[in-house]
Amino acid sequence: MPDAPTSFTSSSPSALTAVEQEILRACRDAKRERASVTLIAVSKTFAADAIEPVIAAGQRVFGENRVQEAKGKWPALMAAHPGLSLHLIGPLQSNKAKEAVALFDAIHSVDRPSLCAALAKEIAAQNRHPQLFVQINTGEEPQKAGIAPGEADAFVAACRKDYGLEISGLMCIPPVDEAPGPHFALTAKIAARNGLANLSMGMSADFATAIQFGATHVRVGSAIFGHR
């Protein structure tokens, strides 16, 4: 017998339960309501047969990092399971803004004026309003997407004023080799002074820390679906 494909074995309702329990504990420690944190189950690279059990276990919010991949698997899943919501957490090319606005309920990677223009055009054309997050490159890593912290205030102001975009919050991905806490704190500080209520931060390794620093959206992949 060949090994079963990863997609059958990796995700399990018990992994989702363990993540849920850790979120509950982090909320309790931070004296926050569980309802103030949205768990985004990041299903990138996993096929529909791995996602189905997680939906069956009650998860309703999912994240993908590529438009093409999401287009291939989510329309059918969403048709079969009304009430799901889908978040784009990866970089977005301006020429895919049309597809992204059509498919996603939230976009976490707004990070340049040309993308703002493309999103504004599609939001108006489709009359769909995905929740928008500006990505902050808190570590100022050259290879990473996002706005430098020093340019964040001006960029958020431009999103609002120049493009008429309603920005819901900020997103960050701390450098892999650094403690995440200071990056979460910086993101929270920039959000607070710009009147932004939502913070998309925290992944499998650090979502409890992110909740401590105010995360409203945690993006958890491997802790739910297994290794990619």
Ligand X SMILES: *Cc1c(COP(=O)(O)O)cnc(C)c1O
DSSP string for residues in 167-190: EEEEEE---TTS-SHHHHHHHHHH
| Identity of the residue, 193 or 228, whose beta carbon is nearer to ligand X in the bound complex | 228
Least distance from ligand X to the Cβ atom of residue 111, Å: 12
Mask for 168-187, x = binds ligand X (CB under 6 A): -----x--------------
Instruction: Encode 1-21: b = buried (16+ Cβ within 10 Å), e = exposed.
Output: eeeeebbeebbbeebbeebbe
Q: How many Cα neighbours within 13 Å face the side chain of 196?
A: 31
| Identity of the residue, 85 or 160, whose beta carbon is nearer to ligand X in the bound complex | 85
| Identity of the residue, 149 or 180, whose beta carbon is nearer to ligand X in the bound complex | 180
Helix axes 48-56, 13-29, angle to 10 degrees: 50
Reading the block at residue 52, the tokens are 């189905």
| Identity of the residue, 119 or 173, whose beta carbon is nearer to ligand X in the bound complex | 173
Size of interface with ligand X, in residues (CB under 6 A): 13
d(CA 157, CA 138): 18
Stated length of the chain: 228
Least distance from ligand X to the Cβ atom of residue 82, Å: 25
- Determine if 146 is a binding residue for ligand X (CB under 6 A): no
Mask for 75-94, x = binds ligand X (CB under 6 A): --------------xx----
- Determine if 220 is a binding residue for ligand X (CB under 6 A): yes
| Identity of the residue, 47 or 158, whose beta carbon is nearer to ligand X in the bound complex | 47
Q: With contacts defined by CB under 6 A, name the span among 7-15, 137-145, 183-191, 217-225 that binds ligand X.
A: 217-225
Q: With contacts defined by CB under 6 A, name the span among 9-17, 111-119, 147-155, 219-227 that binds ligand X.
A: 219-227
Please report which helix (H) or strand (E) contains residue 81, including its range.
none
Angle at 193 between CA 163 and CA 101, to 5 degrees: 35
Q: Which of 38, 65, 187, 216 binds ligand X (CB under 6 A)?
A: 65
Q: Which residue is nearest to ligand X (CB)?
A: 221
Q: Which of 6, 77, 204, 226 binds ligand X (CB under 6 A)?
A: 204
Q: Who contacts 192 (Cβ-Cβ below 8 Å, separation ≥6)?
A: none
Residue with tokens 């189950």: 41
Tell me, rounded to whole angstroms, the distance of Cα 91 from its chain centroid.
Answer: 11
- Determine if 12 is a binding residue for ligand X (CB under 6 A): no
d(CA 85, CA 131): 11
Binding site for ligand X (CB under 6 A): 42, 44, 65, 89-90, 173, 203-204, 219-223
